Chains A and B, each alone.
Chain A
């Protein structure tokens, strides 16, 4: 009885994922047969003219996620290290939960904050100095007035990825055997040398998996990015210009789809699904292949 009920629940979850893939393929089929793979090369998205291309959204997703990861990976790891290795237990008991609360904030509220607080801050205090210092790189173009941009979307995503990387890496760092860190300290290593020489190498693969999971979060976020990315057209070198990305474009266009736009949106969704499924497979593969605890026990 119980076994049957459990097996049924398990099978329904398996069927659910298969059904999700099937439904997306089915919905995207008209667009796939019409546009083919060239879909990912065209950047114009003009529903009223029946023109659909995924290049701009793909570029936006790639750029925002890259910015998010470039900031959130080091900051998240630093927080994880602080919580697992450095912080006194009293501080740890307060700061740890607070960092996790950051991940609990609904994305519509994060996006709201991004529009109201972060975007003006970026426009007035970050774009100018960055352009002045790094203007030679086309990524840091002329400052804009609104702050609604690919860059701000990346920062907003970083805020959402940091707590994920921090919590996962903290739990990993806590698994490093005490004898290893104590041994290094007894040999005269400073705290940083213990971290760099023992803690980080012992957890490297798990950290990679944690960062990949954070990347998955950044790639799939729709609402917060939709609110701050500014819905611009075209692909621009400058990060300070508005753009768009896969998940927010899907969310936005589904509100009032025009004519044959829905299959094209399903096509975008299918691309996003393929990216996300490979991300979770990669994270799993890294975590498995280089399992810390297994490596230490053999």
Chain B
């Protein structure tokens, strides 16, 4: 390696014993050595910050696995909870699934329509720019306030906490995520596809339904999957609007009464004065975390595949 290349790489060439050398201006000397040292220190600090984040992720996952794995069994996944007496999380799992499915049924169509509005139907319109602001606000809205809102809107009116109220709260959390991701994916659909549809004389809305939406379907599904993973782990709003349910019963009618959920199971079981409670709560945390991580990794793979298909 030449002295010049070495100095650019921030390394001291061999033979330089730290003296200020004159005559060969490209030798690292004095000031340059200090600058290189500062740069190396900064690079090291940045790499350690990244290492710290990864280490924390590993520690959180390892803690959940180490504490939760002993509780996992077929019975844990297939038996309903028996409150203080132990049991499993089957009712919480099914309850979560019911609520998240309801929330998705509300949020996905609305979100995709808003995404279409923002990127296909009326981009740049006054409605679109107002919507962008509103989506930012909804995305930044603390989830506990979504709970307060639904409490005032539904729980106070019905005088009871229900799974439906929980589903509505989760759908409000999902809506901006789905709308944003649909908007971004739709914007990536190559204009040539639309032009081809136009050239064939296809109606505007048939082109959207028959060409643009199918081309973006993979990306939209990815966004929806991520939103579902996010909603499945939400606790704060459920605490407010779907916190009262019989933890030992298989209550799954979301309109009639509260529905158990995995996050609420984790939150409430942790505080139960039973010796097995802690282990059950960690077990449920492991199930939830695995689901969320698998969904996130799966979404990433889906996204990569749909991008490749779109030739990006």
Interface centre among B42, B46, B128, B175 (most CB of A within 10 A): B46
Residues of B within 8 A of A254 (CB): 147-148, 151, 239-240, 243
**CB nearest neighbor in A for B296:** A104
Where chain B touches its partner, the secondary structure class is helix
Of A45-53, A125-133, A270-278, the stretch lying at the interface with chain B is A270-278
**How many angstroms from the CA of A106 to the CA of B289 in the assembled complex?**
7
B195 within 8 A of A: no
Q: Assess the B45–A78 pair: CB atoms within 8 A.
A: yes
**CB nearest neighbor in B for A273:** B145
Residues of B within 8 A of A26 (CB): 152
Contact of B38 among A27, A190, A223, A276 (CB under 8 A): A190
Supposing A17-B137, A213-B140 touch, asked if A87 and B50 sit within 8 A by C-beta, the answer is: yes
Q: Assess the B63–A117 pair: CB atoms within 8 A.
A: yes
* Complex interface residues of chain B between 264 and 312 (CB less than 8 A to chain A): 266-267, 270, 281-282, 285, 288-289, 292-293, 296-297, 300
B36 within 8 A of A: yes
Contact of A104 among B146, B147, B149, B229 (CB under 8 A): B229
Of B51-59, B75-83, B97-105, the stretch lying at the interface with chain A is B51-59
Please tell me the size bucket of the interface on A: 35 or more
B47 within 8 A of A: yes
Where chain A touches its partner, the secondary structure class is helix
Q: Assess the B233–A23 pair: CB atoms within 8 A.
A: no
A183 within 8 A of B: no
B135 within 8 A of A: yes
* Complex interface residues of chain A between 1 and 25 (CB less than 8 A to chain B): 1-3, 5-14, 16-17, 19-20, 23-24
Q: Assess the B152–A266 pair: CB atoms within 8 A.
A: yes
Q: Assess the B39–A190 pair: CB atoms within 8 A.
A: yes
Residues of B within 8 A of A58 (CB): none
Interface digits, A154-179 against B, CB 8 Å rule (1 contact, 0 not)?
Answer: 00000100110010000000000000
Q: Assess the A223–B236 pair: CB atoms within 8 A.
A: yes
Supposing A78-B46, A107-B235, A192-B42 touch, asked if A2 and B267 sit within 8 A by C-beta, the answer is: no
Interface digits, A262-298 against B, CB 8 Å rule (1 contact, 0 not)?
Answer: 0001100100110011011001100000000000000
B158 within 8 A of A: no
Q: Assess the A192–B39 pair: CB atoms within 8 A.
A: yes
Supposing A191-B39, A251-B144 touch, asked if A2 and B121 sit within 8 A by C-beta, the answer is: yes
Q: Assess the A162–B53 pair: CB atoms within 8 A.
A: yes
Contact of B36 among A116, A190, A273 (CB under 8 A): A190
Q: Assess the B233–A116 pair: CB atoms within 8 A.
A: no
Residues of B within 8 A of A86 (CB): 43, 46-47
Chain B contact residue count (CB 8 A cutoff): 87
Q: Assess the A79–B50 pair: CB atoms within 8 A.
A: yes
Q: Assess the B208–A2 pair: CB atoms within 8 A.
A: yes
Q: Assess the B142–A223 pair: CB atoms within 8 A.
A: no
Q: Assess the A82–B46 pair: CB atoms within 8 A.
A: yes
Interface centre among B36, B141, B145, B292 (most CB of A within 10 A): B145
Contact of B56 among A6, A159, A266, A284 (CB under 8 A): A159
Interface digits, B9-47 against A, CB 8 Å rule (1 contact, 0 not)?
Answer: 010000000000000000000000001101100110111
Q: B79 CB to closest chain A CB, in angstroms?
A: 22
B94 within 8 A of A: no
Supposing A254-B147, A254-B240 touch, asked if A2 and B57 sit within 8 A by C-beta, the answer is: no
Q: Assess the B152–A23 pair: CB atoms within 8 A.
A: yes
Can you name 21 A-B residue pairings with CB atoms under 8 Å? A2-B121, A6-B114, A6-B121, A13-B110, A16-B138, A17-B138, A19-B149, A23-B153, A79-B46, A86-B47, A99-B54, A104-B229, A117-B60, A195-B42, A220-B143, A251-B236, A251-B240, A254-B148, A254-B243, A266-B148, A269-B145
Given contacts A82-B50, A109-B233, A190-B38, could you give 16 more A-B pairs where the C-beta distance is less than 8 Å?
A1-B205, A10-B117, A20-B141, A20-B145, A102-B53, A113-B64, A188-B8, A192-B35, A192-B39, A193-B35, A220-B144, A223-B267, A254-B148, A254-B243, A266-B152, A272-B144
Chain A residues in the interface with B (C-beta under 8 A): 1-3, 5-14, 16-17, 19-20, 23-24, 26-27, 74-75, 78-79, 81-83, 86-87, 95, 97-102, 104-110, 112-113, 116-117, 159, 162-163, 166, 188, 190-193, 195, 213, 216-217, 219-223, 247, 250-251, 254-255, 265-266, 269, 272-273, 276-277, 279-280, 283-284
Closest 7 CB pairs of A and B: A220-B142, A106-B233, A190-B39, A9-B113, A78-B49, A2-B205, A192-B39
